[in-house]
Structure 1
Amino acid sequence: MALSEHEQRLLDQLEQQLHADDPKFAHSMASSTRRSMSTRRLVIGSLVTIAGILVLLAGIGSQLIVVGVAGFIVMGAGVYFATTKAKTVETGHTAGLPSKPASAGRSGFMSSLEDKWEERKRDQP
């Protein structure tokens, strides 16, 4: 379902406001192929997980608790490796931007909410 022109303009305004208010969060939420899950990590993690399951079963079969626990740890590490994203070096456009204080770039919505909250706190005895 396509957005109307008005809805698209509102969405663009919200996106620009998000980038102005919190560029770090906006950058982390942006869809990027560099940060997507890697097939290589998924395959290696799956193989490590299978190896961990085999070690766990070997520990159960031989009734050695230490081997079973080691297999479980290897299995968990494989799942973790397969499901996490690789860390990438920041080469984007935000690297050279000067950092500004948290309160300096606040605009409309968040600032009005904070003002209302402060006013409410002042009104209480």
Structure 2
Amino acid sequence: MPLSEHEQRLLEQMERALYAEDPKFATALEGTGLRTYTRRRVYLAAAGFVVGIGLLMGGMVAQIVPVSVVGFLVMLGCAVLAVTGWKRAPRGASAGGPRSAPVQRRAGMMDRIEQRWQRRRDEQQGP
């Protein structure tokens, strides 16, 4: 679920404040974001998939069925890991660093629904 515009502005303000207060700490956190984690996870899953192919082919050549089965299971597990990691990868700006410009999104049905929900919630809270 994407962040609302208000939440995005708050997040950007917090990021700018962190950079202003302690730039060294903010820079250290920059590379450990969710995007880096998911990218690493997808790369490891791809490497595991290749290892699984090797086990599968090696088991077939050596005619050792358990090795082939293990290779297939490794391939299957790594494929699932890569696909789920790829789907969870964040879109738009990276996790670290202040954004210079807001990410442009097309106004779709979900955006309109979120705006209506936000207006209703604001109206219910009152002045």
**Larger helix fraction of residues:** 2
TM-score (norm 2): 0.39
Q: Considering only CA atoms, is the larger Rg found in Structure 1 or Structure 2?
A: 1
TM-score (norm 1): 0.40
Larger relative contact order (CA 8 Å, sep ≥ 6): 2
